[in-house]
Amino acid sequence: MTAAGIHSTPRGTAPAEVAYPPAVAGLRLAWLHAVSRRVPAALGLLAALGVLLWVSLRYHWNVAGGPAAQMFIPLTIETGAAAVIAVAAYGPFGEPERATGRWLPYLRLAAAVALTAAAFGALAAGATGGNLPGGSVALLRNVAGITGLGLLGAVVLGGMLAWAGPMAYLLVTEVALQGNPTTPWVWPARPPHDLGAALCAAGVFAAGALLITLRGPRESERD
């Protein structure tokens, strides 16, 4: 049996694809991409982290010690947000998606930037619970920089371990906070208006966003 001579879909089989207006099609594509990356769940987790930050500031969860130690629990929460964003970069479709979706790089970039903005918004709202060390400027810098590390981790390590980069940086920062680091690469330990620290964090975020846009997360059979 061959399909030669068949030029139309038989009656009763799958209907012809619905043609959406371009704007609706674009929104639908963005929505489908967001769903495939579990963005709604990520937004829920980011909101939960914002609430956690609010509670921690409201009830003064502080590690005993100086000002550096007191910023550690907020920093842990910011790192959690970055880890969630990094893991959300992973896509389940692999090669078929890459082969057919010419908008994929833009969707990746939009998802990463939108989630970072959402993380900042949620945590900034959480920061109203008390006095956040460094204020909103440091919050933006820290979230952006650590998220950049997470995105780089997703590119290098893949979705399974993308969260490990931000967590490892958190530990490195914890050790650095014991002293008085001057390197801008440990940006959470620098004052909020430190230009070098801001540039480092912004650079890391830009690098992470660029690579996740162009290459996407590493795919592994273990994922």
Partner 1 sequence: MTATTGTAVRQRPPRATGAVPLTQARLLRIELRRNAMPLILPLIAALFWFDSYRPSTATPPLYVVRTFWNMGQGHTIVDFGPFVAGVAAWMGSRDSRRGMGDLVTATARPRWAAQLATWAATAIWAVAAYLVFVGVMFAVYAHQSVQGQPPWWWVAVGATAVTAFSAAGFAVGACWPSRFAAPVAAFGGFLAMMLSSQTGFTSTSGWALILPTNSNGNFQPDSGMLYPWLPDLPIARIMLLGGLAVAALGLLGLLPGAGGPRLRQAAAVVTLAGVVAAGTAVAFARTARLGPHGIAIPALHDAANDRPISYTPVCGHAAGLPVCLNPAYRSYLPGVTAALAPVAGEVAGLPGAPVRAMQIGAVYDPGEGGAGQAMTMSGDPPVLRMPLGALGLAGAFGWTGGQVADQYRLLFVHAFTGAGNGPGTAAQRAVQAALLQDTGVPIATQPKVLSSVGLPSWARVTGGPQPGPEPATGPVYAAARRFAALPRATQHGWLTAHLGALRSGHISLGQLP
What is the longest distance spanned by two Cα atoms in the chain?
81
| Choice from 33, 39, 68, 76 touching partner 1 (CB under 8 A) | 76
Q: Which stretch binds partner 1 (CB under 8 A): 17-25, 34-42, 119-127, 191-199?
A: 34-42
Q: Which stretch binds partner 1 (CB under 8 A): 81-89, 103-111, 114-122, 188-196?
A: 81-89
Token pair in block for residue 152: 């780089």
Nearest to 177 by CA among 214, 217, 127, 142: 142
Q: Which stretch binds partner 1 (CB under 8 A): 2-10, 79-87, 131-139, 193-201?
A: 79-87
Comparison of 9 and 183: residue with beta carbon closer to partner 1: 183
Cα 192 to Cα 13, 85, 132, 223, distances in angstroms: 62, 23, 11, 38
Contact code string over 100-139 relative to partner 1, x by CB under 8 A: ----------------------------------------
Cα 206 to Cα 89, 104, 125, 148, distances in angstroms: 15, 18, 24, 7
Label residue 134 left, alpha or beta by phi (over 0 means left) and psi (-120 to 50 means alpha).
Answer: left
167 lies in the site for partner 1, by CB under 8 A = yes
Query: Minimum Å distance from CB 84 to partner 1?
Result: 6
Comparison of 84 and 144: residue with beta carbon closer to partner 1: 84
84 lies in the site for partner 1, by CB under 8 A = yes
181 lies in the site for partner 1, by CB under 8 A = no
Percent helix, strand, coil in the chain, to 5, is: 65, 0, 35
Q: Which stretch binds partner 1 (CB under 8 A): 14-22, 70-78, 111-119, 181-189?
A: 70-78
Give the Cα separation of 133 and 127 in Å (integer): 9
Q: Which stretch binds partner 1 (CB under 8 A): 23-31, 60-68, 120-128, 135-143?
A: 60-68
Give the Cα separation of 114 and 221 in Å (integer): 28
Comparison of 72 and 120: residue with beta carbon closer to partner 1: 72
Separation of first and last alpha carbons in the chain:
40
Nearest to 118 by CA among 95, 97, 147, 98: 147
Cα 205 to Cα 120, 132, 141, 198, distances in angstroms: 13, 22, 9, 11
| Choice from 36, 38, 105, 113 touching partner 1 (CB under 8 A) | 38
Binding residues vs partner 1 (CB under 8 A): 38, 41-42, 45, 61-65, 72-73, 76-77, 79-80, 83-84, 86-88, 90, 159-164, 167-168, 170-172, 174-175, 178, 222
